[in-house]
């Protein structure tokens, strides 16, 4: 969880820094030659440092977005691992216990029949040919 939070924090800071840096570069580019806004405007030339500021502000945005994408991938990977672990902890054990009595037949004890896992839905009783003849010709006792 801390890795995902760190990636989210770094990515968010970079995206916010990129937006604010881009706003600052645009304002400085538009108002840099104004007499009222900048002291010593006649000596203000936009050189290579201004170009590096523009490039840095623009390139910070994809870097922050990539951090956010990686945080999302980590979160989904962690959630997928948790869901797979829950399935394997409960599902495999349940199916292995269901298959083991068929492989090793033993005499049922009263404790096994009492604590036996119940099926997910109740099953209808199977009618045999002997019970069909009793129902047709006699009194039905298993209601």
Q: What mean pLDDT is reported for the chain?
A: 74
Q: What does the pLDDT look like over 41-62, one tens digit per residue?
A: 677 777 888 899 999 999 999 9
Percent of the chain topping pLDDT 90: 29
Q: Which residue ranges make up each domain of the chain?
A: 1-37+47-102
Dig out the tokens for 21 from the structure: 């840096």
Specify the DSSP class assigned to residue 116.
Answer: P
Between 83 and 110, the more confident residue is 83
The length of the chain, given as a count of residues: 143
Between 98 and 46, the more confident residue is 46
Residue for token pair 């405007």:
41
């Amino acid at each position: 969880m801390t890795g995902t939070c760190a990636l989210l924090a770094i990515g968010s800071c970079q995206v916010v820094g990129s937006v604010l840096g881009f706003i600052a570069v645009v304002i400085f580019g538009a108002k840099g030659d104004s007499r009222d806004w900048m002291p010593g405007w006649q000596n203000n030339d936009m050189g290579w440092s201004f170009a590096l500021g523009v490039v840095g502000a623009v390139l910070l945005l994809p870097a922050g977005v990539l951090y956010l994408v990686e945080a999302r991938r980590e979160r989904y990977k962690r959630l997928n691992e948790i869901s797979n672990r829950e399935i394997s902890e409960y599902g495999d054990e349940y199916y292995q216990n269901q298959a083991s009595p068929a492989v090793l037949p033993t005499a049922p004890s009263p404790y096994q029949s009492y604590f036996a896992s119940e099926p997910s839905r109740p099953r209808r009783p199977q009618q045999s040919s002997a019970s069909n003849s009793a129902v047709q010709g006699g009194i039905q006792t298993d209601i």
